[in-house]
Structure 1
Amino acid sequence: MQEPLSKSVVGNLPGQRRMLDVVRDALLSANRVSIAVSFFRYSGFGLICEELEQFQARGGTLRLLVSTYMCVTQPEALKAVLEYPGVISRLHLAHQQGCKDQGLHAKMYVIEDEPAECWIGSSNFTKGGLSTNIEANLRHVGQHELLEAQGLFEYLWLREDAFPLSHELIDAYAQTVRQSLVQPAKIPATHIDQSQPVYGSERNVKPNQAQVEALTRLNELRESGERRAAVVAAPGVGKTFLAAFDALAHGARSLLFLSNRLEHLTQAERTFNSVFGDTRIYGRAYGGRLDTNVDFVFATIASASNSTKLTGRTFEYVVVDEFHHASAPSYRALLAQLDYDFLLGLTATPERQDGHDVLALCDYNVAYEVRLVEAINRGWLLPFHYFGIADESVDYGSIPWRSGGFDPERLENALMVENRVDEMLHHCRIRGFDGPKRIAVGFCAGVRHAQYMADALRRRGIEARAVTGMDHVAEREKIYKQLQDPSHPLEWLFVADVLNEGVDLPAINTVVFLRPTESATIFIQQLGRGLRLTPQSEVLTVLDFVGHHRSAWLAVDALDALSDRNAPRGPSTVPLLDITPPKDCEIVLDAKTVEILKKVQRYAPSRKDLCLTAYKRLHQELDISRPQLVDLLSDANMPTPSDVRSAFGSWIGLRQAAEDAQAWELSLDRDSASYQLLLSAEKDWQAQRVYPYAALWGMCAMPDDPDAGYEAFYQRFPRWRAEYKPYAESKVADTLKRKLGDLFDGVGLTKGARQEIPADLLREEIEGRIQYTLEKDFRSRHGGILRRPEALDLHRGYSRQEIVNHFNSQYDPARHNMGVMTFDCAGEHIVIITKLDTSSAIARHQYTNRIKDDSHFMWTSQNKQTRNSGTGRMIVEHRNLGITLHLFVQPSSHSMASYLGPVDFISAEEDAPMRVTFQLRNRIPSMVIEQLQGEQRKD
């Protein structure tokens, strides 16, 4: 294999070393570094502040030459450089009065210590140049080349149009930027979410790509007879517009839109008006108004509940905004009264922090799901740079902990410290923002804390406002508009009880967490406030002040939930964490934060504690008295059934430990037939069809007539009719015998399996268990988002279901379990999924597959495949037949399959099996090869 490209060339390709890694390594090891770039922005500089502080602390000297060419360099970022005495900087004034009319477009990084090296290429000191753009930077280590590079740098450094950096020089340049008509383009216009208008504007719009995909799935659900569904989509994807587009597609003439936040209702009314125009009459049921006879009503839960005219109407379409709140008693009571043709729940996450189960309210029909990671990866949301900063100004140990959180009043008192304000501003200055001005939101611990922060900044000459739930909605909207106006001096909002969800402020470019994270769900919701696409910014800056307290890991857990585990891993890892952020995102923890997290990590709860705490939350906070296994789906942080069995042996064991077991559960012997029946239902049977679960449910629902019970299953769960087959044709008896053993007599459950469980509870208990598996299976087999092969990302990891979905097909485990699959999707395609390590397979299926070099792969077919028949001939002659071959490689069984891209047949040896050599159309980065082979060895 040739020498890995990344040692001598850096292009910021996925899985490879980036220029950001080159710069960070230089600052951590060298003492003399010289950098000359055309463009210098916060989005690049903010990523190396930690390394720069260490570099400066040991006496290192950095010479930085930056140009004003095209006015792309950020004046505010230049001011941040002045805070580092170890950085000697000069500013090249391009096209300035009195200076040469010449632009400086150099990009060079000279590391002058032994062993000296120089990188010359295309990377500017920006997010794109250092990390995300495809660049071309060549490493030079020869003495002659180094001397020439150093000479060129000295020439540029001493030019007469390059001046020592100073506040006065920066202010003069900033005035030029403000007067300039040249605005650097950040986001191509085609990527801007056209369904998200600037705050307060109204115009006709069309569905974006996410909405098109969701509309297709919603229509399919309605055609199958469903009347309720939920859409789970990350903040900023456009859920409200989706509801409007779907109501239009449904032909809705009457609609009720429900929310408990007034900003949501005012924005929703504008949204529906922009889609429907004046074809509908709009009304409100909040704020003293009660318009009950109009076409479309936008109402709070309280107003709608108290109006018999509204609850007495039949609506063709009902929208429940922020659907994760819908398990609250007030929501449940209202929804039970409403008569409607179709109900759509909208949420960024169906997992409530308080454990309430909302998916049950829509019969677990998740029509469409696109979480934050996928939305960022697909360019629908703005990438973020997260900075974890040690919060050393607060003694969290002195704040009482009550009812699962800090005492609110004592916490606010502890956070209202002047030096903490100065520390925040310092980090904001060096980490910066991307945009024409800072547009920042600081999330506070309470109203007093928000008001204190706003006052503290105003005392320091910075425009800031506090916005809380006590402010009138009209006043809040006025402030939101001022904040987003580039010409308005307002830069900061400090908030409490608002902006957690629903309000669209696309221009936000800075989010600061000024209180301890006590909910991973709320953390993600608040992070989402700054992820809307805007042409003014290419990255969101996130500052999180991490204190030494028991919930310090919650933010890390939230970031872990955002981990893009399937992406090619680069050389840089987040300390302590095995996290690969979403595409173009960064997670940076300073050294002190790492120390705090290490200390807190020692006190992680046991699996038993996690399961017991989770059950108590479900029991205390759900509106039902008997939590079932399926209720674990109500929160992403809940343990799995496997965790429960490992900790307590069974769901009954957990109920007993939680002192919530009924008399019949306490009396069950673990060896009894009834206990074993329930335990069997807790396990995933890995069934390729729904039949055995339907049969088990039927035997419990109608013990005396299992055939009728089997048919009743499809009435109880109509979406599973997609897999329906009459019981006599389902051939499930063998499966039931394998899974239930002596509990199944060939027709139904034995009497012993049923006798210790009250008859009225048998179906409920079994249903509550098998629904966990049924929901996961439905999402896998029928809930996939169908895409085209061109949407596949090179070198990314995919599950088999995701691969099938990318060829416009729903995954079928009975048909798509082969190593070679054919698809007709805008042309013919053959997908080859193969493993590097087949040692775990039976002897006749232990094939030899290997990466020959970064452009060739050797693949062994199944034993019966030859070059002259069937699929073998199609592979050999694929070019003549117009077939595209796609290669996916797993390190070993149960690993994600990395997409190595389209391949071409080169040669084949032998037959039955064939040994084929493929030519890859895209070279495999060295780090992807190392990861594939490393995981193979590890497994």
Structure 2
Amino acid sequence: MDISQPAFQAAVLNGLVDHNSYHGNRVVGPQIITNKPAGTIWATLRQQLLTCNDFTWAVAFITPDMLPPLKLVLADLARKKITGTLITGQYLGFNSPRVFQELRKIPNLDVRITTTDGFHTKAYMFDHGNYHTLLVGSANFTRRAVLQNNEWLLQVTTNEQGALGQQVRTELLTLKEQSQPLDEQWLKAYEQTWQPPVRTAGNPSAAPTAKIVPNAMQKAALHELAQLRQAGGQRGLVVSATGTGKTYLGALAVKQEQPQRFLYVVHREQIAKKSRASFQRVIGGPATDFGLLTGNHHDRQAKYLFATVQTLSQDQELQKWAADEFDYILIDEAHRAAAPSYQRLFQHFTPQFWLGMTATPDRPDAQDVYALFDYHLVYEIRLQAALEAGMLTPFHYIGVTDYVQAGVTITDTTALATLIAPERVDYILQQLDYYGYSGDRPCGLVFCSRQEEAHQLAAEFSQRGYPAQALTNQDSAGQRAQAVAALEEGKLNYIITVDLFNEGIDIPALNQIIMLRNTQSSIVFLQQLGRGLRKYPGQEFVTVIDFIGNYQNNYLIPMALTRDTSRDRTVLRQKTTLPPVMGLTTINFSQVAAQEIFASLAKVKLDAMRELRQAFKELENKLGRSPLLQDFFQWGSVDPTVFIRTSAISNYNQFLVKMGVGQPLAPLADSILTFVTQELTNGKRVHELVLLDLLLKQGTCTAEAYTQALSDHKAYVSPAVLRSVMGVLSLDFFAVKAGKQTKKARYGNQALVEQQDLLGYQLTVPLQDLLRQDDNFAHLLQDAVTTGLLLAQRYDQGEQFTRYQRYDRRDVCRLLNWPLDVSAPLYGYRVSAGVCPIFITYHKPVTDAEKQASRAARYDNSLQDGQNLRWYTRTPRHLNSPEVQELLQGVDQGQPQVTIHLFVKRDDQAGKEFYYLGPATIAPTTVAEELIGPQKKAAVGMDLHLQYPLPPQMMNLLFNEE
């Protein structure tokens, strides 16, 4: 991307002279880059790498724990023949030999070792053609520095003639000339002399004998448990991701409750023994207070008894215990509690409180787990939150494409001979070696598709010097335990299995998890991912390498990793292109693998009724009742907006009817509920929702009370928006033909609200009658309004539009306070009453046949930099056309009379909604009449200058060429 001279000048003046007088370009403007919630230093470095022609880094300190995501980006750059230089050194012995070993694996990176004494530089330079971007500051290339620490990098961009750019390039060139290549000879010498730097002593509180105190999440869970007990609750369920201290949380809960006698039930004696030790450490007291009840131990007098369900559930054993023997019972792995053995315990014992704990409550075969604990979901500690809180070992997810044979990527129907072909095995092992692992040797768990594949791959791995063993459901528990022990002891490098380790067995020593199979379920994917995330001494991170083939379910991968509930193609595409960072964990997709995911997204209907039915049943099981629409906001696996936008239903009651738990509404009630759902519940403007909420709860409302309520919601107030609200709630806004009838008729032709003498508001009499006659309708209408108020929190209600949120044309007509919904004939833009929304679909069809067929393809809208977008009017239009004259009024004098709002979507696959990029002005010197399109028709082109320069993330999402 080229940056114009005026853009450079404006950026410098904005950053260094006066931010009020000049609008700076975010791409080239000077700014501080930090690790704040909105982004990380790594995200900026990654974006710079992906858009540069060449790069040079001079970085003193590098750690292995940040190299996997860097390697993936550089692998993408290698396909484009882009190379870079990394200058580093041996200052203080910080850089380990392992770092240099891993750097040497990157073929398109020229690593140089400087001999400069005291080399402590942190500088990153990127060549973008006619400009260079430089980042200098405190951040070395270590995981904590670029993801978490309070670091600063000053980002400055200069063109070829800039003195600063020339000075930095000279310094880097000199540094490079005074350095030597990282070769095998240098590395061997370094390995012989290197001494690890002295580390400061760790926190004494981490010592094994230290007192266990609850972390922030455990404190919150304990508080919720206490609240439930005070409210008289007799059962409760805690969901806690594997490795997050579930056992300690249980011990802390028992210590908080102080029962007279306590029973802990689990399915394996080994777990019972470990749990007993953990409880004793937390609670304290004599060892005799803590006993076992298993096939080998019968400590029935112990105050705290740890039992296996196999022993305790036997009839002869249960007869030895009074029903009220224990006043507190904890069921570990509670997703198993629906089994007959556990049910015998529930039928026999009557404690004061049952506590269930599990990491996987949503298993398809455990749908009764919530019911067993009275639907009291006390607290959830899910994977993403646990990673952000530092409770698990961080991981680097690396999504790469699977082996390609004759131009075709592996699929789930690929012949076994191809799956185990030497070329594929070589490719797999090359990837495993390239992305590496934490530690001195690989210790990996490989998930594949077929048992024959597992056995053959194990043989091929072993033959190539990577000892491996296949494990399937044909192997006994003893064989599995022996294999795990061999893996942990280093006798094996890999265990290759077929969905065998989805739950129940954790291998903390794992440093690689490899996915060689199609993702059929988000739940199973996360279960497999979680096998190696329990913290382990010396384990800095886990490398997760996912070989993404041409599978129809690829879209499940970003959904599972980011816990996405939107079921929205655009959102999932965004999370694949710009994955979030969770604590010290990163998610990374190669550009080829991302294309595989995009291809699967294009084929799937994410809001199909089958998916919504499943989500409804899951939430019903969790709540113990039919969920309302608002329940999906807090608890659901899909976002409430999915029910709003799906074409299969018009309102949530229609969905309930399809589920067999609802009754059809009267036609007018159904039309009103449809209107509120389709037009208001999205929350993009809170004003109508606030008024309806007031009137549904109190019948009438004064103008002053309504204005105050809007103020409480931090919503802007003006005469225009108040008139617009009444136009919408009277349905007059929709009195425009749409097909054979007006949308007003489609919504029942019945106003919802009327205004009395300009002093107050009330619901119309027909609506009041409906609410009195049908409690179910009243309940559902309030639910739609409440859901809308919850969703409205995602938008800045103090403005008409929220930058970088999405709107369709009808939303824009309403939010601009226009009296009528003219979205149908709006097309690309409309000039009306001093405002002009412009809608641009940026990426157009590319073939000649598509261009002829696509009207939109006539217009060559192009982004010149991060702030200026070339745009064309419709055809035929001339400079003297009234529409153009109105649009250009006052532009030459620097006082435009029309406010332009710019909305852009990437392509037509993004649906009907456009991202709002903010207000824009017309650059007067760029206005020109041109002949465009195949028919060479006249249009007026102009550059639109965004008031707010685009952040790199939005530029990448909307405008980059993939």
TM-score (norm 1): 0.61
Contact 1:574–1:587 (Cα < 8 Å) also in 2 = no
Contact 1:256–1:319 (Cα < 8 Å) also in 2 = yes
Q: Please give the per-residue CA displacement for 1:533-564, whole angstroms capped at 9, x wherever unaligned.
A: 56745544322122222222222221231699
- Summarize the alignment of residues 195-274 of structure 1 with structure 2, pairs less than 5 Å apart: 205-260=212-267, 264-274=271-281
**Alpha-carbon distance between aligned partners in 2 of 1:535 and 1:411, rounded to the nearest angstrom:** 41
Structure 2 residue 39 is matched with structure 1 residue 36:
no
**Alpha-carbon distance between aligned partners in 1 of 2:644 and 2:185, rounded to the nearest angstrom:** 64
Aligned letter for 1:560? T
Partner of 2:172: 153
**Alpha-carbon distance between aligned partners in 1 of 2:211 and 2:221, rounded to the nearest angstrom:** 20
Q: Please give the per-residue CA displacement for 1:762-799, whole angstroms capped at 9, x wherever unaligned.
A: 9xx999x99999x999xx9xxxxxxxxxxxxxxxx996
Structure 2 residue 323 is matched with structure 1 residue 304:
no
Partner of 1:421: 425
**Alpha-carbon distance between aligned partners in 2 of 1:86 and 1:389, rounded to the nearest angstrom:** 18
**Relative to structure 1, is the Cα distance of residues 686 and 798 closer, same or farther in structure 2, using a 3 angstrom cutoff?**
closer
Structure 1 residue 226: deviation in Å? Answer: 1.2
**Relative to structure 1, is the Cα distance of residues 224 and 338 closer, same or farther in structure 2, using a 3 angstrom cutoff?**
same
**Alpha-carbon distance between aligned partners in 1 of 2:672 and 2:372, rounded to the nearest angstrom:** 30
2:328 corresponds to which of 317, 333, 343: 317
Structure 1 residue 184: deviation in Å? Answer: 6.2
Structure 2 residue 611 is matched with structure 1 residue 604:
no
Specify the SS of the correspondent of 2:327: strand
**Alpha-carbon distance between aligned partners in 2 of 1:604 and 1:215, rounded to the nearest angstrom:** 42
- Summarize the alignment of residues 59-138 of structure 1 with structure 2, pairs less than 5 Å apart: 59-92=81-114, 102-111=117-126, 114-133=130-149, 134-138=151-155
Partner of 2:182: 165
Q: Please give the per-residue CA displacement for 1:642-680, whole angstroms capped at 9, x wherever unaligned.
A: 83996357889668767x79xxx99x8966999999xx9
Specify the SS of the correspondent of 2:326: strand
Partner of 1:392: 403
Specify the SS of the correspondent of 2:218: helix
Contact 2:72–2:398 (Cα < 8 Å) also in 1 = no
**Alpha-carbon distance between aligned partners in 2 of 1:131 and 1:193, rounded to the nearest angstrom:** 25
Can you give the 5+ residue segments of structure 1 that lack an aligned partner in the other structure?
94-99, 401-409, 694-734, 755-761, 781-796, 801-832, 844-924
**Alpha-carbon distance between aligned partners in 1 of 2:352 and 2:584, rounded to the nearest angstrom:** 42
Contact 2:330–2:357 (Cα < 8 Å) also in 1 = yes
Contact 1:612–1:657 (Cα < 8 Å) also in 2 = no
Partner of 1:718: none
Partner of 1:514: 516
Specify the SS of the correspondent of 1:73: coil
**Alpha-carbon distance between aligned partners in 1 of 2:279 and 2:209, rounded to the nearest angstrom:** 10
**Alpha-carbon distance between aligned partners in 1 of 2:562 and 2:84, rounded to the nearest angstrom:** 35
Partner of 1:431: 435
Contact 1:372–1:562 (Cα < 8 Å) also in 2 = no
Aligned letter for 2:333? E
With 444-453 and 544-553 compared, the bigger mean Cα shift is at 444-453
2:369 corresponds to which of 358, 362, 366: 358
Q: Please give the per-residue CA displacement for 1:326-362, whole angstroms capped at 9, x wherever unaligned.
A: 3455544542333222111112353234571422222
- Summarize the alignment of residues 561-572 of structure 1 with structure 2, pairs less than 5 Å apart: 561=563
Partner of 2:942: none
Contact 2:565–2:637 (Cα < 8 Å) also in 1 = no
Contact 1:320–1:345 (Cα < 8 Å) also in 2 = yes
Partner of 2:390: 379
Can you give the 5+ residue segments of structure 2 that lack an aligned partner in the other structure?
1-17, 682-688, 698-761, 802-813, 819-947
Structure 2 residue 595 is matched with structure 1 residue 595:
yes
Contact 2:32–2:155 (Cα < 8 Å) also in 1 = yes
Q: Please give the per-residue CA displacement for 1:432-453, whole angstroms capped at 9, x wherever unaligned.
A: 3345554433334466655554
Specify the SS of the correspondent of 1:89: strand
**Relative to structure 1, is the Cα distance of residues 648 and 28 closer, same or farther in structure 2, using a 3 angstrom cutoff?**
closer
**Relative to structure 1, is the Cα distance of residues 19 and 453 closer, same or farther in structure 2, using a 3 angstrom cutoff?**
same
Structure 1 residue 232: deviation in Å? Answer: 2.2
Structure 2 residue 189 is matched with structure 1 residue 182:
no
Structure 1 residue 744: deviation in Å? Answer: 8.1
- Summarize the alignment of residues 744-893 of structure 1 with structure 2, pairs less than 5 Å apart: 835-837=798-800
Specify the SS of the correspondent of 2:232: coil
**Relative to structure 1, is the Cα distance of residues 549 and 34 closer, same or farther in structure 2, using a 3 angstrom cutoff?**
closer
**Alpha-carbon distance between aligned partners in 2 of 1:202 and 1:8, rounded to the nearest angstrom:** 51
**Alpha-carbon distance between aligned partners in 1 of 2:782 and 2:295, rounded to the nearest angstrom:** 41
Contact 1:455–1:464 (Cα < 8 Å) also in 2 = yes
Identity of aligned residues (%): 24
Structure 1 residue 228: deviation in Å? Answer: 0.8
**Relative to structure 1, is the Cα distance of residues 743 and 248 closer, same or farther in structure 2, using a 3 angstrom cutoff?**
same
Pairwise CA RMSD? 5.8
Structure 1 residue 523: deviation in Å? Answer: 1.9
Specify the SS of the correspondent of 1:39: coil
With 242-251 and 450-459 compared, the bigger mean Cα shift is at 450-459
Partner of 1:368: 379
Specify the SS of the correspondent of 1:516: coil
Specify the SS of the correspondent of 1:315: coil
Structure 1 residue 61: deviation in Å? Answer: 3.8
Partner of 2:351: 340
Q: Please give the per-residue CA displacement for 1:268-292, whole angstroms capped at 9, x wherever unaligned.
A: 2332233245344545455666665
Contact 1:255–1:315 (Cα < 8 Å) also in 2 = yes
Structure 1 residue 629: deviation in Å? Answer: 4.8
Aligned letter for 1:124? N
Aligned letter for 2:90? T
**Alpha-carbon distance between aligned partners in 1 of 2:198 and 2:649, rounded to the nearest angstrom:** 61
**Relative to structure 1, is the Cα distance of residues 255 and 4 closer, same or farther in structure 2, using a 3 angstrom cutoff?**
farther
**Relative to structure 1, is the Cα distance of residues 657 and 411 closer, same or farther in structure 2, using a 3 angstrom cutoff?**
farther
TM-score (norm 2): 0.60
Contact 2:399–2:545 (Cα < 8 Å) also in 1 = yes
Between the two proteins, the alignment pairs up a number of residues equal to 712
Partner of 1:460: 464
**Alpha-carbon distance between aligned partners in 1 of 2:265 and 2:251, rounded to the nearest angstrom:** 13
Q: Please give the per-residue CA displacement for 1:134-171, whole angstroms capped at 9, x wherever unaligned.
A: 23345363644444434433443344xx5432345434
**Relative to structure 1, is the Cα distance of residues 628 and 555 closer, same or farther in structure 2, using a 3 angstrom cutoff?**
same
Partner of 2:555: 553
**Alpha-carbon distance between aligned partners in 2 of 1:739 and 1:227, rounded to the nearest angstrom:** 46
Contact 2:335–2:358 (Cα < 8 Å) also in 1 = yes
**Relative to structure 1, is the Cα distance of residues 613 and 212 closer, same or farther in structure 2, using a 3 angstrom cutoff?**
closer
Aligned letter for 2:515? F
Q: Which has the higher contact order (CA 8 A, sep 6+)?
A: 1
**Alpha-carbon distance between aligned partners in 1 of 2:260 and 2:483, rounded to the nearest angstrom:** 35
Structure 1 residue 367: deviation in Å? Answer: 2.3
Partner of 1:523: 525
Contact 2:244–2:392 (Cα < 8 Å) also in 1 = yes
Q: Please give the per-residue CA displacement for 1:686-741, whole angstroms capped at 9, x wherever unaligned.
A: 9999xx99xxxxxxxxxxxxxxxxxxxxxxxxxxxxxxxxxxxxxxxxx9999996
